[in-house]
Amino acid sequence: MAAGFGAQVVPAAILALPGLRAETRALLQAQSAPIPPPVRAELFGAERLRQHGVSLAKSQPVERRTGWRRQQRAPAFFPRVANNLHGIERARAYLAASDADSEALRPAAEWLLDNCHLIEAQASEIRNDMPHGYYAALPKLRSPPLTGLPRVYGIVWAYVAHSDSNFDAALLTQLLDAYQTVDTLTLGELWAVPTTLRVVLLENLARLAESAACHQAAQELADLCCDETAAPTLETIEAVHAWLADRQLDTVFLAQMIARTRGRHDAAAATWSDWLAQRAPDPEAVLVTTHELLAADNVSVRNAVSALHAINNLTWRTLIEQVSAVNQLIRQMPGFVADSEMTQDQCVHEIERLARRFKRTELAVAQQVQALARAQTPSPSAGGGPAYWLIGEGRLPLVRALGGPHAQLERPLVRWLRRTRGLLYAAALAIGTALVLSAVTSGLSWQRLTVLATLGLAALAAFEITVSLVNRTLAELVRVHRLPRVALDDGLGSQHRTLVVVPCLLTSPHEVEALSRQLEQHYLSNPEQHTRFALLSDWPDAAQRQTDADAGLLEAARQAIHTLNQRYPSAVDAAPRFGLLHRQRTWNASENAWLGWERKRGKLEQLITALADSAAPHEVPFVDLGPISSLGEDVHYVVTLDSDTMMPPGTLRQLVAIAAHPLNRPQVDPDTQRVVAGYGILQPGLAAPLPRDEEVTAFGWLFAGPWGFDVYSAGSSEVFQDVFGQGRFSGKGLLDVQAINQSLRGRIPENSLLSHDLYEGLWARTAHLSDVLLVESAPMLPDVANARLHRWTRGDWQLLPLLRVALQGRVGALNLWKMVDNLRRSLLAPASLLFLWLSLATDTLAPWAALALTAAAFGLGPLIGALAGLLPPRRDLALRHFLHEGGTDLARALGGTVWHLATLPLAAARDADAIVRTLWRLAVSHRHLLEWTTAAQAQARALQASQGVWRRHAGVSLLSLVWTASAAAMPGAHLPWLLVVGAIWMLTPLWLWLGSRPLPARHRPPPLEPE
User: How far apart (Å, rounded) are the C-alpha atoms in residues 534 and 570?
Assistant: 14
CB 635 within 8 A of CB 498: yes
User: How far apart (Å, rounded) are the C-alpha atoms in residues 795 and 918?
Assistant: 8
User: How far apart (Å, rounded) are the C-alpha atoms in residues 35 and 3?
Assistant: 6
Which ranges of 101-150 does DSSP label H, i.e. alpha helix? Answer: 107-114, 116-129, 132-136
* Burial bucket for residue 649 (CB in 10 Å: 0-12, 13-18, 19+): exposed
Q: Report, in angstroms and rounded to the nearest whole number, the Rg of the chain calculated over CA atoms.
A: 37
* Burial bucket for residue 581 (CB in 10 Å: 0-12, 13-18, 19+): buried
Rounded to 5 degrees, φ, ψ at 810 are 50, 55
| Vertex 282: Cα angle to 31 and 293 (nearest 5) | 45
The amino acid present at 619, given as its one-letter code, is: E
pTM recorded for the entire structure: 0.85
The amino acid present at 256, given as its one-letter code, is: Q
Q: Give tens-digit pLDDT for 763-803.
A: 999 999 988 999 988 888 898 899 889 999 999 999 888 88
User: How far apart (Å, rounded) are the C-alpha atoms in residues 485 and 951?
Assistant: 54
The amino acid present at 341, given as its one-letter code, is: E
> Looking at residue 339, what DSSP letter applies?
B
Residue 681 DSSP SS3: strand
Rounded to 5 degrees, φ, ψ at 331 are -70, -15
Residue 646 DSSP SS3: strand
| Vertex 268: Cα angle to 262 and 272 (nearest 5) | 60
Q: Give tens-digit pLDDT for 422-445.
A: 788 888 888 988 888 888 877 665
Quickly count: other Cβ atoms within 10 Å of residue 170's Cβ: 8
User: How far apart (Å, rounded) are the C-alpha atoms in residues 161 and 198?
Assistant: 14
Spatial CB neighbours of 366, under 8 Å, sequence gap ≥ 6: 326, 329, 330, 351
Q: In which element (H, E) is residue 349 found?
A: helix 341-357
Looking at residue 266, what is its pLDDT? 62
Looking at residue 447, what is its pLDDT? 53
Q: Between 362-375 and 395-402, two packed helices, what is the crossing angle to 10 degrees?
A: 120
User: How far apart (Å, rounded) are the C-alpha atoms in residues 137 and 71?
Assistant: 9
Which ranges of 593-714 does DSSP label H, i.e. alpha helix? Answer: 599-612, 651-659, 698-703
* Burial bucket for residue 8 (CB in 10 Å: 0-12, 13-18, 19+): middle
Looking at residue 752, what is its pLDDT? 83
CB 521 within 8 A of CB 499: no
> Looking at residue 685, what DSSP letter applies?
E
Average pLDDT along the chain, 1011 residues, taken 10 residues at a time: 47 76 79 81 91 91 62 60 85 85 81 85 80 82 84 92 92 93 90 92 90 85 73 78 82 82 65 76 85 88 91 90 91 88 91 88 91 72 78 85 62 64 84 86 65 87 91 80 90 93 94 95 94 95 93 95 94 86 93 91 92 71 91 92 92 96 93 91 88 80 64 52 86 94 87 83 91 88 90 91 80 86 93 94 88 93 83 65 79 92 96 95 89 66 64 91 92 90 94 87 49 35
The mean pLDDT value of the chain amounts to 84
Looking at residue 714, what is its pLDDT? 36
User: How far apart (Å, rounded) are the C-alpha atoms in residues 158 and 39?
Assistant: 9
How, if at all, do strands 766-776 and 645-646 pair? antiparallel
| Vertex 118: Cα angle to 161 and 881 (nearest 5) | 135
* Burial bucket for residue 797 (CB in 10 Å: 0-12, 13-18, 19+): buried
Looking at residue 611, what is its pLDDT? 92
Q: Give tens-digit pLDDT for 474-524.
A: 877 777 788 999 999 889 998 999 999 999 999 999 999 999 999 999 999
Looking at residue 1010, what is its pLDDT? 38
As a whole-number percent, the residues of the chain with pLDDT over 90 amount to 39
CB 856 within 8 A of CB 878: no
Residue 128 DSSP SS3: helix
Q: Give tens-digit pLDDT for 978-989.
A: 999 999 999 999
CB 566 within 8 A of CB 623: no
